[in-house]
Chains A and B, each alone.
Chain A
Amino acid sequence: MITDHTLLGLATIIYFALFFFHILYFVWKRQALLAAVQYTLYAAAAVQAAGILMRWALSYRLGIGHAPLSNYYESLIFFSWSVSVFLIGIRKRRLYPIVTFIASGISLVLMAYASLSPGVERGIQPLIPALQSNWLHIHVITCFLGYAAFTISFICGALYFFGPNGTIPARENLEDMNYRSIIIGFSMLTSGILTGAVWAHFAWGSYWSWDPKETWSLITWIIYAVVLHLRLAGGLKGRRIAVLSIIGFASVIMTYFGVNFFLAGLHSYAT
């Protein structure tokens, strides 16, 4: 029988192929390989979406129906998917193979970690009452789209220090893409924090309670707000923006992974 795990496993394999096609492209530089990369990216995202939908359907069959956005495993899958959706979203304008290469590597690692790590509970779990809210969906979706955008920003920031050369695009282009990613990430993270606050208002009677996850998302938000101001009003450019986008991403990592592992709080859903 085909289950969500079958489809998500298939998606992981497609991510592996995507990663591999990139390497072939870097070696041979054939346009045909670039087209293969593009279609493999679509395929990975589509199969992964099917896996997520399948999991959603299965949860209803188990009588504990809920969108698959509620535990650590599901969030890893969704994170990986968001990165691909983000790549597909900006595809039309301008996308560099080196960026999709690293991003697909990250998606692959996330998927492999989600499906192989013994520390990750992969079953469909029933939802505790506090999580039974429509705000949960929009909260999680916006947060992870934000994280995905910041991942791309991080890739652009990191690549800034290695290029430009045959594979790494010019610095202005990286900086431009970095900025675009940050404004999308910042808007999404803001939406995520605000919808989370509205949800907390209804679930706990308090829209902000300084729990570690909330606090770290605020810290991340402040870092990117500072980046935007330094850029626009402080005229900051180039290297420093690149460094700041790496710091911002470190804070994203802390918000997403670190808090679950190091700090306890309302959000520390089962790992």
Chain B
Amino acid sequence: MSATKNNKTGNRLVVRALRFLVSVRLTIVTLSLIAATSIVGSLVPQGASREEYLSRYSEKAYHFIKLFGLDDAYHSPWFYLLLGVFALNLLLCTLQRLRRLTGPAERHTGDLSGLVSAGFGFVTSPLNKGEVIRRIGPSYKRVRISERIELFEKGRLSRWGVVIIHTSVLLVLAGGLIGNMAGFKAYLVLRPGDEASAAMSRKPGQSAVVLGFRVRCTGFRVTLYPSGQPKEYASDIEILDDKGNVLKRGRIRVNEPLSYRGIYFYQSSYGRTNIYTFTGEGRTFELAEGEAARDAKVPFMVVRHADDVHGLGPGVMVAYMDPDGARALWFLEKVEKMRSHTLKGSRVSLVKIGGLYHTGLEVSRDPGVPAVLSGFVLMLAGLYINFFTAHRRIYVAGGPDTLVVAGTASRNREAFRKEIERLGGGIA
């Protein structure tokens, strides 16, 4: 006895929970929370360091930010939870609607005389039936409902608009999830001639992504506008297997990635490394910033570059050890007297400051992209179908001495009323 009672309340709970899960009210709540999180995420800097937060906010606010993961709001557990609830809500709601759409067609005519009095129909003589049907025209599909009633119908697809839109949102979410779980985002910095078989991951705590093949940069080129801004930059890339055979070759430009086995390479940035050429004691040293000439008679190190030292042009600061401690000197490329210095009795000269470009490539694999892109296409199609087409139905019901013509439209009723008026013009 009590068991059945428990069952009943249990069932009622399940029913209630389900009703809540398909409700539009839940949609409104989750969407609003997603929007609210996004607002917070756009205002609070994302992924900054502890120091940066403390320079902006109080200690208390910082703890709050950390507690709710607002420093990485779009990847916080509760944002995922929100998205999960939203997706479930959308899925259930779409299934429910799908069932209604594919279920037994609602062919009942409803209240035709009510439509007539609302201005969506008219009454005429049965003799005019042929004329009415001619005026309805071939754009309507003719369905015989009963002996007496015929239905003329157009834009049935319009009823599918909402389902198509909702399915497309699910597809985009699914694509995002797939990309998140099975994809990666990484980057590579290569100088012409360099080769790599792994890329640096963008995810913190994950250092390298092994590509399964080798990538070689064979060239990099940048063209500038007269103003000095970059106009175009491009890298020549080769994909190689372990034995060094070239599998694919191509040029990557901004907006024109290269793909190999689902991994995409995008041109994202470039930079220049300065190379300083020194001579001393008959030897030549080519050094980048931070590098040291260890085997020089007096070892020295390139510490710092400046494009302009006190208006005297580009220069480089060099450090070496003296018995009294570390010492630093500026070598200036454009000033004769400052091109050479004596370090503890050893003469060192700066020959030139040369540059070497490196290219910055974004490397990503996102198996979710096809789902996302088809979601996009579907969403636009769905919006068009839902908002800009209408399901119109015109019933022609013949009696012994009257013919009732009346109809309904799922949107844009004013235009439909005019259409009905035209149908009845002169005969209603």
Contacts and interface: CB of A to CB of B under 8 A. Distances in A.
A259 B42 CA distance: 9
B364 interface: yes
Given A204-B362, A230-B28, A183 B38 contact: no
Contacts of B185: 205-206
Contact of A205 (B41, B46, B264, B383): B264
A30 B190 CA distance: 72
B309 interface: no
B231 A204 contact: no
A202 B230 CA distance: 19
B252 to A, nearest CB: 11
Interface stretch (A9-17, A19-27, A156-164, A184-192): A184-192
Contacts of A183: 387
A218 interface: yes
Nearest to B376: A194
B102 interface: no
Contacts of A207: 369, 372
B253 A129 contact: yes
Main SS of the interface on chain A? helix
Given A191-B380, A194-B380, A129 B254 contact: yes
Contacts of A187: 380, 383-384, 387-388
B74 interface: yes
Contacts of A170: none
Nearest to A187: B383
A194 B379 contact: yes
A225 B257 contact: no
B253 A205 contact: no
B7 interface: no
Interface stretch (A37-45, A114-122, A209-217): A209-217
A47 interface: no
A210 B369 contact: no
Interface in A116-136: 126, 128-130, 132-133
Contact of B35 (A133, A191, A219): A219
Nearest to A64: B225
Contact of A222 (B31, B230, B383, B388): B31
B139 interface: no
Given A194-B376, A222-B31, A126 B41 contact: no
B414 to A, nearest CB: 9
B387 A234 contact: no
B380 A205 contact: no
Nearest to B373: A198
Nearest to B234: A129
Nearest to B222: A129
A205 B27 contact: no
Interface string A96-129: 0000000000000000000000000000001011
A91 interface: no
B349 interface: no
A229 B231 CA distance: 46
Given A219-B38, A219-B39, A222-B31, A203 B376 contact: no
Given A187-B383, A230-B28, A130 B255 contact: yes
A35 interface: no
A90 B305 CA distance: 62
Nearest to A193: B376
A263 B380 contact: no
A202 B256 contact: yes
A212 B231 CA distance: 26
Contacts of A208: 176
A128 B388 CA distance: 37
A32 interface: no
A222 to B, nearest CB: 4
A143 interface: no
Contacts of A215: 38, 41-42
A197 B380 CA distance: 14
Interface of A: 64, 126, 128-130, 132-133, 183-184, 186-187, 190-191, 194, 197-198, 201-208, 210, 212, 215-216, 218-219, 222-223, 225-226, 229-230, 233-234, 259, 263
13 contacts: A130-B254, A132-B255, A133-B255, A194-B380, A197-B372, A202-B255, A204-B362, A205-B266, A207-B372, A212-B42, A215-B38, A222-B32, A234-B28
10 closest Cβ pairs, A-B complex: A129-B254, A205-B266, A233-B24, A205-B362, A126-B225, A222-B35, A194-B376, A215-B42, A183-B387, A205-B364
